[in-house]
């Protein structure tokens, strides 16, 4: 049997005549919806590389968005780890005025975290003569630096969400 005949045979075996008509009509309806969807959709690539997709739906008086960042520890270059963690902080941990109790102090504490982490990673990635005792000590120093930096962060209470939903977002 030719490939086209096989497909036709299975199509007719799987679906009763009424089901086939319904399937064809649904396919046509979806094609029209897809065409209408494409007309309402605009794709823009910003100078910084961010791609923005806008789909206008005038019948729905709401705004929503979805952010996808293709960054994770699996994408981190060898010996340059932490990019995914950095993006997480940038996206969810706040700014110099949102989500912090004392930004100047937090900035210093976060710098200490970075230095401790860099020392830990350098020792961890040593291929020859890695000192396991030193590695444990550096890991603990890094964790202690994180604990110290966390004291500057305001407790998570969705400050950013409250700002967006409040009057500041409407201005």
Burial (CB count <10 Å: 0-12, 13-18, 19+), residue 117: buried
Give the separation between CA 88 and CA 82, rounded to whole angstroms.
Answer: 10
What are 1-22's pLDDT values in tens digits? 454 455 444 444 444 555 545 5
Cα 89 to Cα 110: distance, rounded to the nearest angstrom: 11
Torsion region of 23: left, alpha or beta (phi above 0 gives left; psi -120 to 50 gives alpha): alpha
pLDDT in tens, 40-60: 888 888 887 778 888 887 777
Q: What is the pTM of this model?
A: 0.46
Provide the residue count of the chain.
171
d(Cα 146, Cα 144) in Å, to the nearest integer?
5
CA 101 from chain centre, in angstroms, equals 26
Euclidean distance between CA atoms 78 and 93, whole angstroms: 25
103 touches 149 (CB < 8 A): no
Residue 13 host element (H or E): helix 3-14
Q: At what angle do helices 132-150 and 103-124 cross, to 10 degrees?
A: 160
Residue 114 has pLDDT above 80, yes or no: yes
Percent of the chain scoring above 70 in pLDDT: 65
């Amino acid at each position: 049997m030719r490939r086209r005949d096989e497909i036709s045979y299975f199509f007719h075996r799987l679906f009763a005549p009424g089901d086939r008509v319904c399937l064809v009509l649904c396919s046509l309806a979806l094609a029209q919806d897809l065409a209408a969807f494409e007309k309402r959709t605009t794709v823009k690539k910003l100078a910084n590389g961010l791609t923005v997709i806008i789909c206008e739906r005038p019948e729905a008086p709401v705004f929503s968005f979805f952010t996808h960042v293709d960054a994770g520890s699996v994408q981190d270059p060898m010996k340059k780890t932490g990019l995914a963690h950095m993006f997480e902080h940038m996206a969810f941990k706040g700014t110099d005025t949102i989500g912090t109790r004392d930004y100047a102090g937090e900035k210093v504490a976060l710098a200490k975290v970075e230095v401790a982490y860099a020392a830990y990673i350098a020792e961890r990635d040593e291929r020859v003569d890695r000192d396991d005792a030193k590695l444990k000590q550096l890991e603990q120093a890094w964790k202690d630096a994180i604990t110290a930096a966390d004291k500057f962060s305001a407790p998570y209470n969705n400050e950013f969400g409250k700002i967006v939903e409040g009057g500041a977002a409407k201005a």
